[in-house]
Amino acid sequence: MKTYENLTTYNPGEIEGKWYSYWENQGYFHEEVDTNKEPFSIVLPPPNVTGMLHMGHALDNTLQDILIRFKRMQGYNVLWMPGTDHAGIATQIKVEEMLAKEEGKSRYDLGREKFVERVWEWKKEYGDTIVKQIRSLGASCDWSRERFTLDEGYYHAVREVFVSLYEKGLIYRGERIINWCPRCATALSDVEVEHEDEHGHLWHIKYPVKGEENRFVVVATTRPETMFGDVAVAVNPDDDRYKDLIGKTLILPFVNREIPVIADDYVDASFGTGCVKITPAHDPNDFEMGQRHNLESIVVMNNDATMNEGAGKFNGMTREEARKQVVAELKELGLLEKIDDHDHAVGHCSRCNTIIEPMVSKQWFVDMKPLAEPALKVVKDHEVEFVPERFTKTYVNWLENIRDWTISRQLWWGHRIPAWYCDDCGETIVSREDINECPHCHGHVTQDPDVLDTWFSSGLWPFATMGWPEQTPELKQWYPTSVLVTGYDIIFFWVARMIFMALEFEHEIPFKHVFIHGLVRDSQGRKMSKSLGNGINPLEVIDQYGADALRFTLVTGNTPGNDMRFYMERVEANRNFANKIWNASKFVLMNLTNYDESFVPTADDLTLADQWIVQKYNETVQSVTSNLDKFELGEAASSVYDFIWNTYCDWYIELAKPRLYNDGNERDRRTVQYLLVTILRHMLELLHPFMPFVTEHIWQHLPHEGDSIVVTKWPEALKFDNLEGAARQMEVMMDAIKGIRNMRAEMNVPLGKKAEVIVAPTDEALAQTVADHSDYFVTLAWAEKVTILGSDDPKPENATVTVVNGMEVYLLLKDLIDGEKERERIAKEKIQMEKEISRLEGKLSNQGFLAKAPEAVVAKEKEKLEEYKQKQQALLEREAFLETL
């Protein structure tokens, strides 16, 4: 007979690196295209090359890995495509900071070509950090197919998309209002701007009416420093207060430029004074109004948010300095009527948190309306489904109100825009290939200096990573992908863009499901951030508790779409769960002497406990599988946890022990060995997607077929006849055993002291079950003997009783407890209870406390009082019961 090596002490640090290397070396994460298998594919949301693993990544990658491992075990042709994003702004800023710190140089000192070379050097040295960190989580990506948004093949895909959209008239260059970051010195798209509520003011400024002495129009503005770019004042055409002013001219203070009063329905007559200054070059709504009324756009700031010559004597001041000075001088001139407090949302750059400046600028744009319509349709028609479904509304609302997308960025790191301008004839040439001269006049050409928005290139991720525009075997097999797993915070940034890009260029959706998760917050529910200092490094958690414990914490604390609070106590509890499995497995391995791998029991060999464990196991397989299919990953994990801890470890192993040690019945011993091993192995397989390392290590020690749990077959139900009803019978027995344990605990019966148990079942079948399995009470409830009462037998007196579904269970306690000691203990507890009750009653009758304390505090104190009164009553009842013994 084969012997089986037992486990040592559970130490996740010792096993995790070993098994990950083994999986990679064996090539388990890589699959070739196999058209005979059903495909399942996920593209990893590419982290920034500047990134370090944080809890958001850990959650996102864990959820994907669970789905991938599950489908791999189910026999699908699986692809999990990894990669990283060049992260234009973030990476350029990091390298610029490094240059300034180490060499005292700026990118301009190096020049474009040398600077880009330095960024590539930085990427080679530091850009793989996050990829290594993702591996430590156990992510089973196909690293042999890893992509980068600036690699050569991806470069061709990006250029093909840009040129094709340009040829269709969907990409254009023009002067429009954009979001400008003075710190990053680049344009930003709307979704790269984060709005924060800030306390501000509403300044009421008097603009003189031309030709009418002492008549003014008062405008209310939050940004007096932009008034130098005013080209009109607008009023609502139905506002009777100002009808006579429409068409008249005002004098703009400081610059004395004449500006008209115009009428526009957009103006809200109830806000401020009902008069709105129109600054098309520095406000998106004003820009739209300016377009409607053919107004000029006057830019009054430089790219660094200092005032330009258009601001007259305020030229060169920062916008903040100009605001203070303008307000002070308006006051001196008698043109400041009043200042109101006013809270409003202010846009900040999502990268550096600088206040953005809306500014008219010549940029490249994507015409979004034609692209948004089909992207809306596929979601409304349920071709692409959001999980949870409520996020559909977020997606639809954004696309229905979308503006044209600014895609040019004033950076050097990224996909350079493939547009050239002829210095001689002024022609603009957009080309798939680099050009050296103008195709029209053969004159000298200069390439556009800007690069594309990072989200433009990452919007192609599902198909460009698979070799598009070539129709590769990978693209044919794994596209569209099966599911996208991502946070709700990038539905606009990324999800919508992938959908409209895929429909435009592959004429097919990029994924069937969008599985949305929430954010990982700290234990107080706050967003993790550097400023709060409440971030938790996943790598430190892995070092302390292991990746399995972290993964299980993230998935069981996660309801699709909702934020989760992260508690270190839960990580510790899940490490204890791994330890529980480890110790249970050690017990099983220790009891495999003379184990016969060829032995399979029949239905007749199974005891009630065997039938019950098989039935519960089969239910768990069904529950875990169906919940994983529905993206209810937390529910699936909870099902397998409950089965392993409560059903297998706490009950079945204890029931199995006497049979393992009984040499008199070899077939019975082999039956219980078979079930212990088979169910443990399949439990590990069910748990493997969630906790890959500990499950592989234990699985390798157990009798098994195949080389790794990674590629073993997903568990199925065990086929035995006559299992019906076993669970109900066993659960009644278990309830009775729990009742006896509770009675013993309440009466402080010392462990090891056995008591007589008397059972009064309500029907003959149950009586027979108890008779056949009375040994369960002996093994698990320390019963000295078990007596079954018939329907006419008198009930015992002077016994404590519990009622469970189908029977009354009596425990005879005489001589098992020291009555005198128990009375002394109860007397002490009663004194303590009386003190607490008196204290709380005094507190709750104190009118001062009731008046000042919050409602929740008062309710809590009332709850405590009720709890102590219940404990007091229980002590009185126990005291009375002791008198009967």
Q: Which residues are annotated as a binding site for ATP?
A: 530
Please give the Cα distance from 273 to 221 (Å, whole number). Answer: 10
Query: Could you give the 3-state DSSP secondary structure of residue 221?
Result: strand
Please give the Cα distance from 647 to 381 (Å, whole number). Answer: 44
Strand partners, 487: 517
Q: Can you spell out the DSSP letters for 613-670?
A: HHHHHHHHHHHHHHHHHTT-HHHHHHHHHHIIIIIIIIIIHHHHHHHHT-TT-HHHHH
Question: Within 13 Å of residue 547, how many CA atoms lie on the same side as its CB?
Answer: 28
Please give the Cα distance from 106 to 97 (Å, whole number). Answer: 8
Sheet holding 783-788, edge to edge: 783-788, 755-761, 807-812, 800-804
Percentages (nearest 5) of helix, strand, coil residues in the chain: 50, 20, 35
- Measured at the CA of 539, the angle between CA 537 and CA 544, to 5 degrees, comes to 100
Are the CB atoms for 68 and 42 separated by under 8 Å? yes
DSSP-H helix ranges across 219-305: 284-292
Residue 431 Cα distances to 158, 173, 406, 458, 716, angstroms? 12, 15, 20, 21, 56
Strand partners, 573: none
How many helices (H) and strands (E) are present in the chain, helices listed first? 29, 29
Q: Which of 87, 83, 82, 81 is nearest to 50 (CA)?
A: 87
Are the CB atoms for 695 and 13 separated by under 8 Å? no
Phi, psi of 535 (to 5 degrees): -70, 150
Q: Which of 80, 187, 235 is nearest to 142 (CA)?
A: 80
The tokens describing 547, both together, are: 């990746």
Q: DSSP letter at 424?
A: T
Please give the Cα distance from 64 to 483 (Å, whole number). Answer: 9
Query: Could you give the 3-state DSSP secondary structure of residue 43?
Result: strand
Q: DSSP letter at 244?
A: G
The tokens describing 321, both together, are: 């300095």
Are the CB atoms for 76 and 38 separated by under 8 Å? yes
Cα dihedral sign for 474, 381, 388, 577? negative
Are the CB atoms for 436 and 445 separated by under 8 Å? yes
Strand partners, 361: 176
Residue 745 Cα distances to 547, 817, 871, angstroms? 37, 11, 15
Q: Which residues contact 554 (CB under 8 A, 6 or more apart)?
A: 55, 58, 59, 62, 63, 520, 564
- Which residues are annotated as part of the binding site? 530
Q: Which of 231, 207, 228, 203 is nearest to 217 (CA)?
A: 207
Are the CB atoms for 146 and 74 separated by under 8 Å? no
- Measured at the CA of 406, the angle between CA 400 and CA 410, to 5 degrees, comes to 160
Q: Which of 537, 541, 562, 561 is nearest to 551 (CA)?
A: 541
Please give the Cα distance from 84 to 87 (Å, whole number). Answer: 9
